[in-house]
Structure 1
Amino acid sequence: MYQLYLDDCRDANVPNENIAKEWLYSEIFNYEYDYSFKTSDSDTYICDKYKIQLQESSVEERTTLQEDYERHLTDANKRYSLKSEDKKRSRLTNSEKVLMIDLQKCLPMSELHNSQSFYSLKLWTYNLTIQTPRFKNVFA
C-alpha cells in the first residue's frame, strides 16, 4: 500500500519533502485509522460444499455430483485464466483498464456474543474491495 501511496504522490507532483516516510504512513494507518492490510483468503465455499455432499451421498448420486464438481472446477479455472489474461493485457497497454471488484466479507456492525441478538441485527458492514492490476505489487 505504501508503494501505491508513493505512486499517487508522484502522479500528483507532490514534492519529495512533503511525502510521508513509510514508518509515518504505517503509524497513521495502523493507529489513527486502525486499518490493517492482509492478503485475501480464497473463497472455497462451493468446493467445500461439493466435497461434503460427495462424502454424504449415495453411490447413485455420487456420479452426478462428481460431474457437477468437475464442471465447477473447470469453470473456476477458466475464470482465473481470463482474469490473469486481463491483468497482463492491462499492464501492457494504456488503452485498457481493469478493475477487480469483490465482496470480501459481511460483518455485523457491533460485536455480539448473544446468538439471538446476532440473528435479529439489521445493520451489516459490507467489505467491498476494488483493485487495479496496474500496480504489480498488489497481485504478487
Structure 2
Amino acid sequence: MTSPEGDFSDSSEESNKRGTKENHFNYKYKTPGNKIDEAKVGLIKEHIKRFPKYSSYYSRQKAPNKKYLAGNLNLKKMYQLYKEFCEEKETEPARKTFYRYVFNTCFNLSFHSPYTDTRATCDKLQNTIDHRLLDEKHGALVEKELHLRKAQIAQKQVVDARNLVAKDARHVAVCFVLQEMLPTPVLTCSQAYYSQQLWTYNLCVHDLGSGKAFMFMWHEDQASRGCQEIMSCLLKFINSLPPTITHLTAFSDNAGGQNKNQHRVKFWLYIVNNTHIQIFDRKFLLCGHSFNDCDRNFGIIERSRKIPHGYLCNRQGVKTF
C-alpha cells in the first residue's frame, strides 16, 4: 500500500511475525538490558569475603550468625577498594547501588560502630511524642521528663563527688570506661583492610579529684575484655593508692557484662575486706547519659591517632616514634 507520505507496506519476514505467539514469547522473555551478569555478582562476593570478620561478644545470643567488619570501614570505602580490585582484575566494576544491594542481601554483616552515647530511650520517647496519639503523647512526655531528671541527678552526683574529694584527703572518686577496640598499628594502605589486625584494649580510670587519667592497655593475644580483665585493672589501680585512702567512689556506665554482675559484687567485697579501702560507693550513670571525663580522654587519643607515626617492633612491644 502506497500513501502520499511514503510506502508503509510490511513485506519482510520479521514484520509478518508481529502479533504471533512465537514473537510474543521471544519478546516476553528477552533479557533486560540493565541485568548484571553473574560474573560481576561473584566478583563482588569475592571482594567482600576478603575482609576479616569478627563475632560480637554481646550480641552472640540474639544474633549468633551475625558478623562484624572493622569500625574504620564503611560501604563508601569498601566500594573504592572494590574499584581498585576490579582494576587489578582488568574488568569493569558494577555500580555502587548494586554493590550495596549484594552486601545487604547476600551477607549478614554490619560495621563495628564507634563507642557513642546514642540516648536510645530519649529518641524512642521523642518519636512517640511526635507521631503517636494524644494519650500516648502525654504518657511519653511524663516518662521523658522523669528520665531526664534521673539523668541530671546522676550527673550531679559526679559533680558532688568531685567537690567532696577536694575537701577530704581520705576520699577518692573515679570513673572508668573501656574504650573501643584500637587496631594496631594504624595503617591507611588498602591492603591493611584485608588483613587481620591486632586489636588493642584500653581501660581508662579517671581520678575526679586530681584530674589525672590512668590508662591500662593490653592486646587480644594477652587477654580478652570481659569482667575479669576489668577487675584486674581496677585492682592494680586500687593497690597503687596511698594507704591513707579509706573511701572510694566509682562511677561507670551500665554495661551488664562488665560492670553489673555477681562477679563484680564479689570483687568489691574483696576490696573492702582485704585492702585499705573501708568505705565503697558504687554508682551507675543513666543509660544514654553516661558521657564522662574518660570519654574526653578518649577524644585526645582519637585525635592523636590521625597523626601518622612510625612503628618499631621488638621483644618489649610496639613503640611509636
In the superposition, the TM-score normalised over structure 2's length comes to 0.23
The structure number with the bigger radius of gyration is: 2
Between structures 1 and 2, the one with greater helix share: 1
Greater strand share, structure number: 2
Compute the TM-score of the two structures, normalised by the length of structure 1: 0.48
